[in-house]
Every structure is written in structure tokens, then in C-alpha cells.
Amino acid sequence: MKRLLAMFAAVFVLALNAMPVHAQKKVIGLALASDTNPFYIVMRRGVEIRAKELGWEVRVVTANEDVNKQVNGVMDLVAQKVDGILISPIDAVATGAAYEAAHKANIPIISIARGAQSTYQTLFVAMDSVQIGRDIAAWAAKSAGGKGKVGMIAGPAGANVFEELAQGFKEQMAMHKGMPIVFEHHVALTREQGLKQAEDLLVAHPDVRVIYAGNDELALGAAQAVAAAGKKRGVLITGLNGIPPALASVTKGDMDLTVVLSPMIWGRLGVDVMAGWLKGERPKQKVFIKHILATKENAAKYMPPKKK
Amino acid sequence: MTMRQGLNAARPYSRFLRDQVPLLALVAVCATTAVLSERFLSPVNLNNILLQGCVMAVIAIGMTFVIIAGGFDLSVGSTVALAGTVSAWVMLETHWSLGAAAGIASGAVVGYLNGLIVARLRVNPFITTLGSMVVVRGIVLLITDGRPIVGDEGLPDTFLELGRGRLFGVHLLVWLPLVLFAVFGWLLHMTAYGKRIFATGGNRDAAFLAGIDVERVTASAYAWCGTLAGVAGVMLAARLQSGQPTVGEFYELTAIAAVVLGGASLRGGDGKLYKSMIGVFIMVVLANSLNLLNVHSYWQRVAIGLVIIAAAAADQIKSRNT
């Protein structure tokens, strides 16, 4: 009997030691750029689902793409003394005050998907932008048979991710002499811009073979313009992010490629990286997310499950 | 006004209550949040609230002038972006102080032009300032090419220190609106010029017959509004460590809402500067407390909209009862 009791006690102590991660409920903050952009809506769901699995609480602040509001939101999280902050910064420089505030309060602040220039950025869960740009170009060159004009509707200049994507794309494309880049514009990431730029591109270069778009919204806009011009046959349109409407469009054949950087996985990975950090893991400055090229053949597979 | 005061003189207590609906609303929001979240009254958070309100407070000072003078100004949000980017641009080329001055001056120019068009050409203020809102945003995007202005080495350190530094534990960015509030409060409520603004907004024809140069007074109100939006833009550039071409969207609506929440009449001729500041802090505290209470962002919009309507309605009911 005594031995049995001792054994129970030992198991109990062991269990207590093994439990702190579960026993200690963490509260983390999530500062999103917007609560209407599907990318962030799904990212938020990813964060919330993973946090729930760990028994954590998530407090969300959003900013309608207003960088001042995002800084304010992070300060509200700091005031609540959360255990850690996940942020997808609207601007690499302008969010500096937010990172500084978190740092001063000894709260780790980890950027997801978009990075900041602040020296107080704890970690950056990033995508390997240059490599993704190269992969898109390689796929497009192969699909086009190494011939044809290329137009680029890149994301906003000044945003590192989009600069690097475009840079990787151009590096890779430069290897194909038969595929000159005839059009390159840096615009805001909206469907309207994609539509408008593609319309102009189609007027200036009716024989364009590949349209590279900085993200899926731009690509969806471009696809609309191409369809309206009656040119779907023969124009390859590439996007980025793998948002559900883009995956549907690729499956249907309006768009031709998107890169699945599922915001769901971004969100989950962000929480896991934060969990590691809070446990004392100290990885290098950047943690890369895996990316997958989605084409007509496999796009449907990456559609997220419907929300209950 | 005088009759109301006369009638209520016997009951100073209830008059105070009626006069201070916005203040009571602010206290109510604060008290509720303080009960629900122990973090609300922490020094960190109180500092947050002041910092979050400082830019809007400066814009609202100018907006109060224009609204009391019988108009309003939709272009302040764009002007904030213009001043921020112009100042960042000029200070990268020259000196930080010249940059700050250029930013404020750009706001003054926008305000002055608004004033000229509204006062001299008699174009409706809604149309005038809606137009200049779009024009100015376009100019901002043109001069910046849509990109934030940061410079290779960042903005000058002295300037960034303005956005970061503190005096007696309070951010420099919070002291500035306090000073401006004192100066403009004096100008509006204690000088002959201020009385002319009230008179012009209250009854333009009567003011004209009384010998007031109503065109000049109206134009000057817009000029102040633009100048102060310029100051706000430079402050925001210091806080955001860059000139951002897209900031300031919808700031005009928040500013107008804050001033009206503070009891100013959109018909002109009525309002108090300190009440506009209370209006600003109702908006700021509300946003802050909804974040502290972890209210879902979609519900936040619903809540903010409802509070604006409720506060304005309470104010209306109060004035009807008198």
C-alpha cells in the first residue's frame, strides 16, 4: 500500500513537471493589418485554432491598413501585459514604435508574413521570397515553352517581400532570352489595381504571354481583364498566397498558378514559433514557411475546409 | 443661450449635468472599462491613451474653428498625409526643422485655398473640401510615387526623438496639443477675433451687418484648420518614423464626429474647444477599451457607431428639454 502511494506520488510529481506548458495558460496578442482581407481572416483563424489546441488565449487587434492604428493596437496589447505578440506589420518602418513598446515591456514580438526593420523584432516568420519568385518564373518559363513577352504587376514598392519576389522572378526570367519583361508596375495590392494594370498591359502589349501578379488579389483582377479582352487562351497568370478565390480560379482555369502560403499555416506556425520562444528556444532571425506551387491539377486540394 | 442660463441659474447642479453630457459619457466609458479591466488605469495604458489621442486632438482643434464658423473640412485626412510626406521629404534634403516647417506650411496652403474657395467663391464647403480631399491625396501619391518616404538612413535622429522623447514622464507629442489647446482656446474664447468666428457661424448676415468681414473670418478658420492638420501630419511622421502617403484616411470623419460629440453644432455658432477635446477622448478611450476588453473587431465598429449616435442623441434631448 505504501509503495503504491509512493508510486502515485511519483507519477503525480512527474506529471506536474511535464505539464507547465499546458498548466500555464498563456495570453498572446495578435495585431493584424486588416480584418476584411481574406488572407488575414484565415491567418487569424490559424492562430486561434493552434492557440486553442495549446490552451492559450488570443487577443486580437486590427487596423484597417492604418499603420497608426496598428501601432496603437500593439500598445493596447502591451498595456494588457500579454505574454507575447504576433504581428503582421503594415509598414516595415512606421511600426517601429510598436516594436519598441513591446521590447521595453519585455514582451517578445514576432512578425508573421511581413517583416519590420526594427531591431526590436524578436523573430520573423517569413517566406523565402526570392526563392518563390524564382520558382514562379521557372514554372512560367517552362509552361510558356521559353517564349513570349512577360508583364509584371508587382506589389507595392517599398515593401521588402514584394521587392524580393520581383527580384527573384526577374533573376530567373533573365535566363530565358526569349522572354523579355516588357511591363513592370508597382501598385497597391487590390483587385482594382490588378484589373486596371492588366487592361493597360493588354493594350500596350496584346501579345503578352505571361502576367506575373504580386499577389492573388492582383492576379484575380488581371484574370478579369484578360477574360474581358477575350484572350484567356494563351495568357498565363500567376498569383501568390493561395487564397480560396484564387485556388478556385486556378481550378477553373482563369488563373494559372498561385503559390500556397496558406495563411492558416502562417497562423499556426506563428503560434508554434512563439511557443518555442517562450520555452527558451532561440532560432535564427528568420523562420521560413514552406511553399507549394498550386496549378490546375492540384489547386482544389488546398482549399481550406469550410467554417462550421 | 442667455435665457437658458437665466432659467437654470436656480438649479446650477442640473444645469451642470445638462451642459456636461459629453464629459459624463467619457467618465461612464472610463468607469465601465476600469471595472472590467484592471489594466485600464495602469500608467502604461493612461500614457497610451494620451499618445493615441494627441494627433486627433490637434486636428480637432482646427475642425472646431471651422465648424463654429459654420462649415466643415473633409480634407484634413489628406492634409495630414501631405504634411507628413512633405516634411519627411524636405528634411531628408535639408534640415529637420525646415522639414517640419515645410510640412506645416503645406497644410496651411491647403487650408488657405479651401478658405478662399468657400468664402470668396461661395462654393459649398462639403463640395469644396471633398474636392480638395481627393486632389491633395492625389498630389501626395504623385510626389511620393505611392511609397513611404524613409530615406536610406532614416529620418534625422533629432526629429525621431520628438516622436519618442518625454518631458516629465509624458511624451513630447502629448505636450504639443496641450500648448496648442491653450493658445487656440484663448484665441477662440477670449479674443475679439474669436467672437467674430462665433458671430459669423451663428448668423452670417447679422455678422455682416454688424460690420464683420465675414469672408475673411471664414477663410481664416479654414486656414487654421489646414495649418493644424499640417502640425498633426508632422507629429504623425515623427511617430511613424516616416512619411506615409496612405495615412489619415477617415481622420476627417473621426474629427468631425469628435467635435460634434463635444456638443458643437454643425449649423455653426456654437461649441467649446475643451468639449471638442472631450469628444476626441471619447473616441480614443472607446477604441482603447474595446481592445482591452478583447471585443471582436467587427463588433468594435458596431459599438463605436452606436456610441456616437447615442452621445449625440443625449445631447439633443438635453437641449430640447431646456
| Contact between B84 and B236 (Cβ < 8 Å) | yes
**pTM (whole model) above 0.90:** no
pLDDT in tens, A105-118: 999 999 998 889 89
pLDDT confidence of residue B11: 61
For residue B306, give the H/E element and its range. Answer: helix B297-321
pLDDT confidence of residue A166: 93
The 8-class DSSP code of residue A307 comes to: P
In A35-138, beta strands by DSSP E: 57-61, 84-87, 109-112, 123-127
The residue of chain A with its CA nearest to that of B299 is A35
Q: Which of A36, A68, A99 should we substitute to test contact with B (largest number of B Cβ atoms within 10 Å)? A: A68
CB-CB under 8 Å, A100 with B146: no
pLDDT confidence of residue A299: 87
Q: Lowest mean pLDDT of A148-162, B4-18, B27-41, B99-113, name the range.
A: B4-18
CB-CB under 8 Å, B45 with A76: yes
The 8-class DSSP code of residue A176 comes to: -
Q: Could you give the 3-state DSSP secondary structure of residue A265?
A: helix
pLDDT in tens, B115-133: 999 998 989 999 999 999 9
pLDDT confidence of residue B22: 83
Q: Which of A65, A71, A157 sits opposite B147 (nearest CB)?
A: A157
pLDDT confidence of residue B296: 85
pLDDT confidence of residue A232: 67
CB-CB under 8 Å, A76 with B48: yes
Mean pLDDT of chain B: 88
Q: Please say if the pLDDT value at position B270 is more than 90.
A: no
Q: Which amino acid is at A57?
A: E
Mean predicted confidence (pLDDT) in B200-224: 91
A62 neighbourhood in chain B, CB within 8 Å? 297
A186 neighbourhood in chain B, CB within 8 Å? 146
CB-CB under 8 Å, A156 with B294: no
Task: For chain A, give percent helix, strand, coil, nearest 5.
Answer: 45, 20, 35
Q: Which of A65, A76, A187 sits opposite B291 (nearest CB)?
A: A76
pLDDT confidence of residue A16: 46
CB-CB under 8 Å, A80 with B39: yes
pLDDT confidence of residue A306: 65
Mean predicted confidence (pLDDT) in B32-38: 88
Mean predicted confidence (pLDDT) in B246-269: 88
pLDDT confidence of residue B1: 44
Q: Which amino acid is at B33?
A: T
In 10 A of CB A308, how many CB atoms?
3
Q: Please say if the pLDDT value at position B66 is more than 90.
A: yes
Residue B314: CB partners within 8 Å, gap ≥ 6? B21, B25
Q: Rounded distance, CA B158 to CA B164, Å?
A: 10
Query: Which three cell numbers mark A12?
Result: 503525480
Q: Please say if the pLDDT value at position B10 is more than 80.
A: no
In degrees, to the nearest 5, what angle opens at C-alpha B129 toward C-alphas B128 and B133?
125
Contacts of B256-260 spanning 24+ positions with Cβ under 8 A: B256/B63, B256/B67, B256/B72, B257/B283, B257/B308, B258/B56, B258/B60, B258/B63, B258/B282, B258/B283, B259/B60, B259/B63, B259/B64, B259/B67, B260/B67, B260/B312
In 10 A of CB B219, how many CB atoms?
22
Residues of A with CB under 8 A from a CB of B: 35, 59-62, 65-68, 71-73, 75-81, 91, 93-94, 96-97, 100, 105, 156-158, 186-188
**For chain A, which residues score pLDDT lower than 70?**
1-23, 231-233, 305-308
pLDDT in tens, B276-289: 999 999 999 998 88
pLDDT confidence of residue B319: 63
pLDDT tier for residue B3 given thresholds of 50, 70 and 90: very low
